[in-house]
């Protein structure tokens, strides 16, 4: 007898099928069996367990293609267990784990370790990105082919850029041969050395060294050229500068294989929003000018920016208390990303709900070549989030994540995840929900 669950009466929003209407969703053995109105009245389904989704969005589980789970090596900041619990709370059902752990994930055996740990302990599905260079030192390429066989979904030295253009070219050629994307953290380290915030008015007033926008854009432009040269898929991580968005827009117009993601903090905040020397607002790339934020919003609206990804980067409180110049870069984001999207993208009419979910689920599935998720079509994995779109809540410093380094604490948001199903089973349920 098949294991069944009927998600009843919710507003199903599925950009992959252009659906936005009240329907029932039948799950059988962890997969989507049917999406149709009035399913519950079918005689054969009368006894099936029911999840009442009236008043809620029923959406494909989110796919966050930029997450730092910190395990192995930095379990004090986050683990696969706590990071995936945070994901589930945010409606995220698949994460792509970045390889800059300690040691980095730069060998097939390291890939296997993370994958097996994720299967054993993960609350949601974990994909693994492999490092591009040994030890992420930017000197020698890793065993990319071996790591692909071990199951990586992308290659990246994220946390650091690929400064050596020749090495980048060779990595891209290998990625193209293997059919996976290269995700690049675009930063010219010579232009950003010693800097901790954006180069702008706030940095000047605070006496802090700033990173110029050009430090990102020169590398985005280089990557576009190398993508054209090699034909490889280059995905620009956490795009933040207006000029970088323009460069990607032009590359896409020319039909090049270049895609990009933006983070919730870059579409929500700008440098002027960072109070004093609060290191919870320190991230790389930094919060940039209001004009840059505007460009990110425009890029999300017109599809130049394909995906929303959090760059969830947990750091324990002690590290963020070092003072802004010394504190590590990065903020957490898994538990607030959807609500920030609903509040600041849907609420301000930058994106329709369907478009938002396209950027947060269907697009990342497409970019990572995942054919079994990011959609509620029949036969897909039953990875689903149930969301109350109108529910207001204030972000508190209580997270499933082990860390609390969020710039959004105290912010009022709309949109509350009420339940997250992975393979038809509850990975998260809101306290008093359902």
Does position 145 interact with another protein (CB under 8 A)? The reply is no
Phi and psi at residue 250, in whole multiples of 5°?
Answer: -65, -40
78 binds another protein (CB under 8 A): no
- For position 73 contacting another protein by CB under 8 A, the verdict is no
Part in contact with another protein (CB under 8 A); list of ranges 77-85, 127-135, 255-263, 319-327 = 319-327
Query: Does the footprint of another protein cover residue 189 (CB under 8 A)?
Result: no
* Total of chain residues touching another protein, rule CB under 8 A: 22
In this structure, the strands spanning 62-67 and 57-60 are unpaired
1 or 205, CB closer to another protein? 205
Query: Between residues 323 and 379, which has the closer beta carbon with respect to another protein?
Result: 323
Cβ atoms 364, 65 nearer than 8 A: yes
Catalytic residue among 77, 184, 311, 383: 311
Closer to another protein by CB, 190 or 398: give it: 190
Nearer to another protein, 282 or 373 (CB): 282
Q: Of 75, 65, 145, 162, which Cα lies nearest the Cα of 111? A: 145
Q: What is the spatial distance between Cα 100 and Cα 238, in angstroms, rounded to a whole number?
A: 16
Q: Which stretch binds another protein (CB under 8 A): 55-63, 148-156, 314-322, 346-354?
A: 314-322
Contact 400, 82 (CB under 8 A): yes
DSSP 208: -
Query: CA-to-CA distance for 323 and 361, rounded, in angstroms?
Result: 36
Rounded Cα gap, residues 299 and 279, in angstroms: 27
CB of 202 to another protein, least distance (A): 9
Supply the minimum distance, in Å, between the C-beta of residue 194 and another protein.
10
Q: Pick the binder of another protein from 183, 208, 220, 224 (CB under 8 A).
A: 208
Cβ distance 70 to 77 under 8 Å? yes
What gap in Å lies between CA 227 and CA 236, rounded to an integer? 11
Distance CA 26, CA 434 (A): 17
Given the complex with another protein, which of 152 and 324 has the nearer CB atom?
A: 324
- Residue 397 binding another protein, by CB under 8 A: no
- Specify the stretch interacting with another protein by CB under 8 A; choose among 50-58, 164-172, 202-210, 395-403: 202-210
Least distance to another protein, CB of residue 87, Å? 30
Q: Of the candidates 72, 138, 151, 325, which one interacts with another protein according to CB under 8 A? A: 325
Q: Give which of 179, 172, 139 is closest to 156, Cα–Cα.
A: 172
Q: Closer to another protein by CB, 129 or 203: give it.
A: 203
Can residue 207 be called a binding residue for another protein (CB under 8 A)?
A: yes
Q: Is the dihedral of CA 418, 415, 282, 249 positive or negative?
A: positive
Told to check if 15 binds another protein by CB under 8 A, we report no
Residue 201 is a binding residue for another protein (CB under 8 A): yes
**According to the binding rule CB under 8 A, does residue 316 interact with another protein?**
no
What are the two backbone dihedrals, phi and then psi, of residue 383, each rounded to the nearest 5 degrees?
-100, 110
Report the C-alpha gap between 134 and 114 in whole angstroms. 17
Cβ pair 259, 306 in contact under 8 A: yes
Is residue 44 part of the contact set for another protein (CB under 8 A)?
A: no
Paired residues of 428 in beta bridges: 420
Site membership for another protein, residue 404 (CB under 8 A): no
Q: Does 324 bind another protein (CB under 8 A)?
A: yes
Contacts of 290 (CB under 8 A, 6+ apart): 270, 272
Active site residue 311: yes
How distant is the alpha carbon of residue 221 from its chain centre?
Answer: 23
In the list 323, 379, 390, 410, the residue contacting another protein (rule: CB under 8 A) is 323
3-state secondary structure of 107: coil
Residue in 277, 298, 329, 352 binding another protein, rule: CB under 8 A: 277
Residue from the set 189, 278, 372, 396 that interacts with another protein by CB under 8 A: 278
- List 411's β-bridge partners, or say none: none
Residues catalogued as catalytic = 311
Contact set with another protein (CB under 8 A): 199-201, 203-210, 212, 276-278, 318, 321-326
């Amino acid at each position: 007898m098949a294991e069944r669950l009927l998600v009843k009466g919710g507003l199903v929003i599925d950009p992959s099928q252009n659906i936005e209407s009240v329907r029932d969703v039948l799950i059988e053995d962890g997969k989507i069996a049917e999406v149709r109105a009035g399913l519950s009245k079918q005689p054969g389904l009368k006894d099936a367990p029911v999840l009442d989704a009236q008043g809620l969005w029923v959406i494909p589980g989110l796919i966050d293609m930029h997450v730092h789970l910190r395990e192995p090596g930095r379990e004090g900041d986050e683990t696969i267990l706590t990071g995936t619990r945070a994901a589930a709370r945010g409606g995220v059902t698949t994460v792509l784990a970045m390889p800059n752990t300690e040691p980095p994930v730069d060998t097939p055996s390291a890939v296997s370790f993370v994958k097996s740990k994720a299967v054993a302990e993960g609350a949601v599905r974990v994909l693994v990105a492999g490092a591009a260079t040994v030890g992420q030192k930017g000197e020698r390429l890793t065993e990319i082919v071996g790591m692909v066989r071990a199951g990586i979904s992308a290659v990246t030295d994220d946390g650091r850029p690929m400064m050596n253009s020749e090495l980048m070219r060779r990595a891209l050629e290998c990625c193209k041969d293997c059919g996976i994307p290269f995700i690049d953290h675009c930063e010219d380290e010579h232009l950003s050395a010693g800097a901790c915030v954006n180069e702008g008015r706030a940095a000047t007033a605070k006496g802090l060294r700033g990173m110029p926008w050009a430090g990102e854009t020169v590398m985005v432009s280089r990557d576009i050229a190398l993508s054209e040269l090699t034909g490889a898929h280059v995905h620009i991580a956490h795009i933040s500068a207006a000029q970088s968005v323009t460069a990607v827009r032009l590359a896409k117009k020319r039909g090049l294989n270049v895609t990009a993601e933006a983070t919730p903090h870059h579409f929500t905040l700008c440098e002027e929003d960072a109070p004093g020397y609060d290191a919870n607002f320190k991230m790389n790339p930094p919060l940039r000018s209001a004009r840059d934020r505007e460009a990110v919003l425009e890029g999300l609206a017109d599809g130049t920016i394909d995906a929303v990804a959090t760059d969830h980067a947990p750091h324990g409180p002690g590290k963020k208390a070092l003072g802004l110049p010394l504190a590590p870069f990065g903020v957490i984001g898994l538990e607030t990303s959807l609500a920030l999207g609903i509040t600041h993208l849907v609420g301000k009419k930058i994106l329709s709900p369907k478009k938002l979910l396209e950027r947060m689920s269907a697009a990342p599935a497409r970019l990572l070549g995942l054919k079994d998720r990011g959609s509620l079509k029949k036969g897909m994995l039953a990875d689903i989030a149930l969301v109350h779109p109108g529910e207001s809540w204030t972000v508190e410093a209580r997270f499933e994540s082990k860390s609390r380094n969020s710039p959004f604490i105290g912010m009022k948001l709309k949109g509350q995840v009420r339940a997250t199903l992975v393979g038809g089973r509850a990975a998260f349920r809101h306290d008093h929900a359902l």
